[in-house]
Structure 1
């Protein structure tokens, strides 16, 4: 029970996280086959993230009403349907719609999977469970690009999506057999006005930040959407303050550990969200690596993420959440920034070490904040906490990509070159490192004993 439940959840989440990045190296092949351009096809990437941002806020209430085990299985089924639709798509509108359907399934998998962990494990076992659970978030975006490149090069690109079907069938079978049954809650209220406002806020922010760096769309359009997202967010705050049971319960921010986890995690993800965007481009555009080779190099940080799984619990027991997360934020900021100073005339092993060590500490931070978030949240409020945590994550990741894309776009405009000079990639890594470092500001005010029931440090 202690290992098998997060492993089953991790299989589905790995499928989701890998698929969200796997088409990045296959855009040119897919675009040529369906008769469009790679730049236009990036709308398919954006539609997936918009679907996540739209439906994540309601995921907690759906799990409460119908039971998290059933909702998780249905989410896999919807994701499979979207994958099949992607494989059958023959036009840009069809492919964009199929990716949106995939995103609807993905929007339920992560928060509902996290909810299943929280309700299935005692707080003393939550760190180990979260360690297994967080690995797909690290591995998927790294494995996706080389796998996508290999399939596009040596097979039909449609297999990128068809391979999800057998994985999904196995995931549903294991979920039915292994995941614990958690009864639905009675008298669950759906806050439909809150759903509309929160979805408009999150999707506008994610869509706006995602298209800011798209050359085919004027940047002002992206900024206008992001501004509208902030406006819808303010309207939601006003609505939530006057509603007895809002969809995203903002009163949860009164819990210090959850507030610190959400705020620090959001700031941290702005920095780490830029890495899968910056590193492959630096290796390909500045250093001349192929897409496949850059994907393989990027994937070495998997070793650090896996190594973290065995050490997260003893580290948190030894230092406690506050000290461990403060140290980790500093180290992550350093290793992220220093990676930008690597140059092709240096030994490749230097870059590999930076990526492995950086992957370890990033994964440790993710595991720590995901566990800390539920340290003082009661079981009845855990569904609202998972939805709030997941929604903030999606917005912050989109902000990270927009930040990195904006720096590189500025490099192109200011230099007059088709490719950003290497110095702008360095600047991107330094800014990303600064963002990860700023995550400590939300942690430094925590009590030294925060989350001690979970960490085991008394």
Structure 2
């Protein structure tokens, strides 16, 4: 008899569960990207300025970030199946609400609800697989599920652009309904309701502090250039966000049941990885929002063409996956992150050289290179951040990293939208291309801060 291999193929009885989790992952991945190419059309339909529409992206991403800390506790307390079922119902009904919305405020309300459902889909689905599928088959299950996660961002921008042209922007949300119904039907057949026998009391006050911190910083930056709100309002929100961060840092140190204990940050590599992740993602995560907006609003491209042009970015990300491990093993985390951080920043800045007349092949190559560099950055940062965490801190550390990733995306999009509005006011509405170009240069320069953070990585850190 041969000994059991470390990694086995997925057995048939677990395939339906992986399909179910993949549906949730696909819906979340699709919804994060499909909106980007539809923003100008949504603005026209709702009678809004397309440069003031970044709130549609921020509302969703921010509510996902805010509810990530809830996901594990809810799954342990009420069971993975009940929590996942509720998440799909919330997400699907909110998608219907978004599709029926007649005003920006109505759309934003449903986007927040949609984000609450989206926040629970992936963490709870992954937790269900971890609890149900044997460890020997877990790698196979995660690989299959990851394909669904990659498909969402791959087709999202193009599908969004196509739907806007052949139907209306409402369909980018209504497309979630049949997938949500399929998920609802499969949930009770495929997912057992695993619960934990003893669950700690939820850190309610810590959760409130984190939400105030995230909402204050994101909305403060987002409303900075708003013509409808006074400057003191934005500054007050930012101050409230910073104050909540400071109070939470004290809370995490003193409260025995805190969502994220301060001892996590005694691990130097984890602390560097978290701070580096936050700053590195401000520019990188703003690009999927900013580039489609520039192509349509400043260059006058059609939504479908814009969506097609975004595909090389995802293809670049996919192409980099097989080589990332070898690059890190060859050069080490410190060198890879220092060099690549500068390259990502330079690549973001170089988008300022593009115009409406840039040849399509050159634009596609540019996006492809950005996809490779961005993927190398994110994978390197994530693996560095989590690699030295002890087992007892792995779940908490991973949740905090997921939350920081979404907060950084929210603040990055808010910052990009605010900068475009400030520079449009400065240069004049007829010089919108210059406003986008200056914004891109500033977002690229943020990576200089990130390089200074990664400089702190010890030279002898193990791969």
Q: TM-score normalised to the size of structure 1?
A: 0.82
2: CA distance, partners of 1:91 / 1:229: 28
Q: 1:435 to 1:184 in 2, by over 3 A?
A: farther
2: CA distance, partners of 1:441 / 1:357: 23
Q: Which structure 2 residues correspond to residues 198-213 of structure 1 after superposition, within 5 A?
A: 198-213=210-225
Q: Could you give the per-residue CA deviations for residues 238-262 of structure 1, whole angstroms, max 9, x where no partner exists?
A: 2222211212223211122322221
Q: 1:207 to 1:265 in 2, by over 3 A?
A: same
1:445 equivalenced with 2:456 (yes/no):
yes
The equivalent position to 1:227 in structure 2, one of 196, 219, 239, is: 239
2: CA distance, partners of 1:261 / 1:42: 27
Q: Is the 8 A contact 1:50 1:203 kept in 2?
A: yes
Q: Could you give the per-residue CA deviations for residues 176-207 of structure 1, whole angstroms, max 9, x where no partner exists?
A: 78889976363323111111111111122222
List runs of 5+ in structure 1 lacking aligned partners: 453-458
Count how many residue pairs are aligned between Structure 1 and Structure 2. Answer: 448
Q: 1:377 to 1:187 in 2, by over 3 A?
A: same
Q: In terms of mean alpha carbon deviation, does 232-241 or 43-52 score higher?
A: 43-52
Q: Is the 8 A contact 2:348 2:441 kept in 1?
A: yes
SS at match of 1:422: helix
Q: 1:271 to 1:6 in 2, by over 3 A?
A: farther
1:400 equivalenced with 2:412 (yes/no):
yes
Q: Which structure 2 residues correspond to residues 326-341 of structure 1 after superposition, within 5 A?
A: 326-341=338-353
Q: 1:27 to 1:273 in 2, by over 3 A?
A: closer
Q: TM-score normalised to the size of structure 2?
A: 0.81
1: CA distance, partners of 2:234 / 2:324: 39
1: CA distance, partners of 2:405 / 2:387: 19
Counterpart residue number, 1:455: none
Q: In terms of mean alpha carbon deviation, does 240-249 or 109-118 score higher?
A: 109-118
The equivalent position to 1:433 in structure 2, one of 425, 444, 447, is: 444
Q: In terms of mean alpha carbon deviation, does 327-336 or 70-79 score higher?
A: 70-79
2: CA distance, partners of 1:288 / 1:31: 15
Superposition deviation, residue 24 in structure 1:
4.3
Q: Is the 8 A contact 1:27 1:38 kept in 2?
A: no
Q: 1:285 to 1:165 in 2, by over 3 A?
A: closer
Q: Is the 8 A contact 2:36 2:289 kept in 1?
A: no
Counterpart residue number, 1:422: 433
Counterpart residue number, 2:179: 167
1:252 equivalenced with 2:283 (yes/no):
no
Q: Is the 8 A contact 2:309 2:364 kept in 1?
A: yes
Q: In terms of mean alpha carbon deviation, does 45-54 or 75-84 score higher?
A: 45-54
**What's the C-alpha RMSD, in Å, of the aligned pairs?**
3.7
Superposition deviation, residue 361 in structure 1:
1.8
The equivalent position to 2:206 in structure 1, one of 187, 194, 198, is: 194
2: CA distance, partners of 1:184 / 1:451: 35
2: CA distance, partners of 1:336 / 1:174: 42
